[in-house]
Structure 1
Amino acid sequence: MLRRRHLVPAVLGLVVIGTVAWLLRPAPEPVSTATVERGPLTETIEEEGRTRVRERYDVSSPVAGWAPRVTLDPGDTVAAGEVLMALRPLPASALDPRARAEAEAALERARAALQAERARLEAARTSARYARATYERLAGLRIDGQVSRNEVERAEAEAERAEAEFESARYAVDVARQEVAAAEARLQYAGRSETPDEVPVEAPVDGQVLAVHHESQGVVAAGEPLLVLGNPASLEVVVEVLSADAVRIEPGMEVRFHRWGGEESLPGRVRRVEPSGFTEVSALGVEEQRVRVIAEITAPHSRWRGLGDAYRVEAEFILWSAEDVVQIPENALFETDDGYAVYVIADGIAQRRGVQIGHEGGLDVEIREGLSEGETVVLQPSRTITEGTRVMPIGQR
């Protein structure tokens, strides 16, 4: 009886002590959480870009003379061979032997450039035919299921690129032909006692007027720029990216153009990454080394007809993409001596777990090892959370 009498108070004391300890224990830490998911993930680089007409042609005065007022305005359409203005040449001074030799050399250079552009045109024509034939062949095999859709899309993009290069080469031949005509005119009219009444200035290519350099009438020197012509359908996008990002961008890489004014994004491809960079001071006064990346719009011109020269767009370069990736929000990670880790919630307790990360896609990051789909992780873990800390989810992404 004595032992039982002492046992009851002891048990009651332990109960009281346990109750007090339970009441005095720290309250659970409120945390925001996210679920480990599996789905598509894309790693991108986003920068601001400017459109630029690829085929730009400066129309200059072939001789010194009196130019009338230009009646053309930016946006007006001209045809190849159309007379843009008629110059009234000034009496030409006689060329000394050195000046005549220079004029003759300039004419020979212009003729050689014309021959080179003609050869490039034939090469571009052959490439365009081959690329188009390859696309049509693969498109037929796609119907039978012998090739993948990606192969057909790559062949189609290559065919469109080759055809654009052919158009560029054709314009270049027209311009080179006009350069030869201008060089011949300089040599022909120089030193002549009789001066022609008018010297016509013709449009080298079909296109639109992009800029007017000499709008008012007046005297112009030989070679002075008068107009700038271009083909608005041959737009390209110039994007200045950080040099650390430029090394990850390659020709042929997919690009998406956003916030250009239309409702949908425009697809595109990288055409060239320039080999040299330049230094630019940011708005915060920080010197940045940047590189120009030239991309082209692969969507039909009818979808972006409203875009013009020097318009602003947002370019998103697709560095990597996958359809089935284990991923979590990036702000669930924290650095450790061994790499990265997260806090996983199990039965209301935070458990620290090391993870191996992969590609980063915007706000999410790929998890290669350490987590499974469906687990819950803590977002933005504070320093008060450690291994074994009781947590209380207050919100979930």
Structure 2
Amino acid sequence: MKTKVQWRRQIVFALIVAALAWGMYSGFRPQPVVVEFGEAVRAPLRVTVEQEGRTRVVDRYVVTAPVDGYARRIALDVGDTVEAGVPLVALEATRSAVLDARRHAEAEARVAAAQANLAAVEQRVLAAEAGAELSGKELARIRTLRAAGHVTADAADRAVAADDRAGAELRSARFTVATARHELEAARTALGYAAAGGAGEPVLVRAPVAGQVLKIPRKSEGAVESGQPLVEIGDPRALEVEVDVLSADAVRIRPGTRVLFERWGGEGALEGVVRVIEPAGFTKVSALGVEEQRVWVIVDFKSPPETWQRLGDGYRVEASFVLWEGANVLQVPASALFRDGDAWAAFVVEEGRAVRRRIDTGQRTGLIAEALGGLKEGDRVVVHPDDRLRDGVKVSGR
């Protein structure tokens, strides 16, 4: 018969063997893959294109200077209401330049030079008159001698030419005197009226329409050129939104597309509708330095005006273009899908094991995908499947 000590030894040995066997079994048996689960649910789904936009006044009028002149200080301020035909800016004639001591002395010297030039040309007129008188007398004497036959016809012709030449020189000298007098008058005017204000009534630039002042490029007085912007006028109650979207997204947007404006600063979301997609794109460099082709999309507000009247010209809004939406859509996380040949597939959890199943997909957003077939409501799927998953592998949730 076995003693108690022998029985105890056998029991301890059996327990050790059992512990070793359990440890080996636990260490070598397949462990469930720890994954994150998602669920197929029915809920509203909306496919959108989201971009930043900004408001702008529908009809903006830039009032420019009609002529070169000197603009008086503009008394209006941004935000002031103006009526059609009200004077906005008064334009005076261009003012003369201010002369310093050196330029003033130069102007006086030009006056003195003009006076001397006038005296010189007047003396040339006297000389020309004397020459013309002498040639006239000579021509009369030659004609008398020619009639008597004492001079040749050639001498008579030379006398006629000399008289014509003397007459032309006299007329030229008189024209020179007139020019010198005008130059003297101009020099005296420049000296006498330098730095004087413009004469005559100012030109009043009036408001073309009723509205509010949106922008004043320069409020202070000063010289302006023809076509230079002076005041911008518009009606801030008539707003639209301009949004630049990627050209790849613009082809998915159509006139009449519904638009939601969120995070605009007020309560709730505003609604709008696409009026036009501009036919020409432009290149824009993104914040990452990548060149992108973008297109302007113009949107009209559809919400009641009292809900968005707090917006003004150039305000930032977040625009969501609704491309498609459904009220009761079976959907799963888009991160649960992966390519399986030419189709999409997902790992569906059945009795603790991952089962590969092909999924027919419909509309997609960045995070959600519509399931048209292969899933039913309540099915659990593996989100972000990795290469450890195989068909039939046990899985457990985190």
| TM-score, normalisation: structure 2 | 0.66
Q: Select 2:73's aligned residue among 38, 46, 69.
A: 69
Q: 2:354 aligned with 1:343, yes or no?
A: no
- Aligned mate of 1:356, from 352, 357, 360: 360
What are the within-5 Å matches in structure 2 for residues 280-319 of structure 1?
280-319=284-323
Q: Deviations for 1:225-260, whole angstroms, at most 9, x for unmatched residues?
A: 210111111221111111110000011100011121
Paired amino acid for 2:268: E
How far apart, in 1, do the equivalents of 2:225 and 2:24 lie?
99
Where 1:299 maps in the other structure, the secondary structure is coil
Distance apart, 1:18 and its partner CA:
11
Match of 1:323? 327
Equivalent-residue separation in structure 2 for 1:266 and 1:362 (angstroms)? 23
Q: Distance in 1 between matches of 2:23 and 2:265?
A: 66
* Counterparts of 1:19 and 1:83, CA distance in 2: 97
Matched, 1:35 2:39: yes
Output the CA distance in 2 between the equivalents of 1:294 and 1:389: 53
CA distance in 1, matches of 2:291, 2:54: 21
Matches of 1:90 and 1:19 in 2, distance apart?
A: 103
Match of 2:55 in 1: 51
Q: Does 1:278 align with 2:274?
A: no
1:253 and 2:264 matched: no
Alignment of 1:83-232 (within 5 A): 83-89=87-93, 197-232=201-236
Match of residue 333, structure 1, among 331, 334, 337: 337
**Contact map agreement 1:36 1:377 (CA 8 A) in 2:** yes
SS in 2 for 1:303: helix
* SS at 1:248 equivalent: coil
Q: Does 1:382 align with 2:386?
A: yes
CA contact (8 A) 1:280 1:287 kept: yes
SS at match of 2:237: helix
Other-structure match for 2:30:
26
Q: Distance in 1 between matches of 2:346 and 2:251?
A: 31
Deviation at residue 79 of structure 1 after TM alignment: 1.3
Tell me the alpha carbon deviations over residues 115-169 of structure 1, each in whole angstroms, 9 at most, x when there is no partner: xxxxxxxxxxxxxxxxxxxxxxxxxxxxxxxxxxxxxxxxxxxxxxxxxxxxxxx
Q: Distance in 2 between matches of 1:215 and 1:209?
A: 12
Ranges in structure 1 where 5+ consecutive residues have no aligned partner = 1-15, 92-194
**What letter is aligned with 1:318?**
V
- Percent identical: 49
C-alpha separation between the residues in 1 aligned to 2:202 and 2:21? 112
Amino acid in the other structure paired with 2:236: P
Alignment RMSD (CA, Å): 2.3
Asked if structure 2 preserves the Cα contact closer than 8 Å seen for 1:63 and 1:89, the reply is no
Partner residue in 2 for 1:118: none
Measure, in 2, the Cα distance between the counterparts of 1:333 and 1:35. Answer: 12
How far apart are 1:332 and its partner, in Å? 0.8
Over residues 315-343 of structure 1, what are the superposed CA-to-partner deviations in whole Å (9 max), with x where a residue is unaligned?
10000011121110111111121221100
CA deviation vs aligned residue, 1:58-110 (integer Å, no higher than 9, x gap): 1112333321101112111111122213323459xxxxxxxxxxxxxxxxxxx
Task: Identify unmatched segments of 5+ residues in structure 2.
Answer: 1-19, 96-198
